[in-house]
Amino acid sequence: MTPTKRLGTTAFTITLLTVVFAGSLQADPKGQEILDKLDKLATAPQDQFFVYDMTTYEEGKTPKLMTIAVTIKGTKWRRVEFTAPGDIKGTRMLVRSLTQMYIYLPAYKRVRRIASHVRDAGFMGSTYTYDEMAIVTYGEVFSCDLAQETETHYKLKCQRREGQEFHYASMEMDIKKDIHRPVEIRFFNEKGVKLKTDFRSKYKCKTEELCNPMDMKLVDHTRNDIYTSMTSREWKVNTGVKDSFFTKRSLQRGR
């Protein structure tokens, strides 16, 4: 084969591989459409307010019970406040985005930014990390393919988008069709090892499209399957919370 022909063949091969590889990185339009609808429904109200009992169960230890109040506005803002037990009461967390999180600790009476290297640490001893407590919508973080569709569920397989700092490299999500909400989410590392499973059940719907799980359970498979359950005690929508509530100054002052 002449040098010219060899170069032509090489160029064609590189072009073909580039097209195939680029196509493999593109999310399936149907899968992304399903995820986008999920995000849109989850953030349809102007704001939402929840109170949860948050209990962590670990073999051989007494269950650890905490109570938290969670306020969400828009697609990114979230504020969490611990109301019990007494030793952590008044601890507050503010999320402006996945890369902009703050915490107020009453013992220090000051607001501190949550560093990126601790975002995958257990949040207040639970199986939830700071990233998991912070995420409101998934479409910005993951691109998804529709792996399977049954009469009752969509099953998505998702990859973390390039440039995103979220702790998990991939995710699988099972979505119940009638309410278009997830009932199980599985998180994996870069090697495909399953790290956690997030179960969501007992959905309550205020309208046909406004639904939330009353029970959630996050199992950490890297810590001998210890888990944290979150049971909803209160849920309100469109309370009229102001934007100023989601600022560092408000976090410091507690109102």
Q: State the pLDDT confidence band at 124, using cuts at 50, 70 and 90.
A: confident
Provide the token pair at 62.
């007494």
pLDDT in tens, 212-242: 999 999 999 999 999 999 999 999 999 999 9
Task: Tell me, rounded to whole angstroms, the distance of Cα 104 from its chain centroid.
Answer: 21
In 107-197, alpha helices (H): 130-134
Provide the token pair at 164.
């995103």
pLDDT in tens, 173-204: 999 999 999 999 999 999 999 999 999 999 99
Provide the token pair at 34.
């399903």
**Burial of 86 from C-beta contacts in 10 A (0-12 / 13-18 / 19+):** exposed
Does residue 19 carry a pLDDT above 60? Answer: no
Would you state the CATH architecture of domain 28-253? Clam (2.50)
Domain boundaries, the chain: 28-253
Q: Is the CB of residue 84 less than 8 Å from the CB of residue 67? A: yes
Phi, psi of 38, deg, nearest 5: -60, -50
Provide the token pair at 23.
């196509």
Phi, psi of 251, deg, nearest 5: -60, -40
pLDDT in tens, 100-113: 999 999 999 999 99
- pTM of the predicted protein model: 0.86
pLDDT in tens, 68-118: 999 999 999 999 999 999 999 999 999 999 899 999 999 999 999 998 888
> Can you give the pLDDT at residue 254?
84
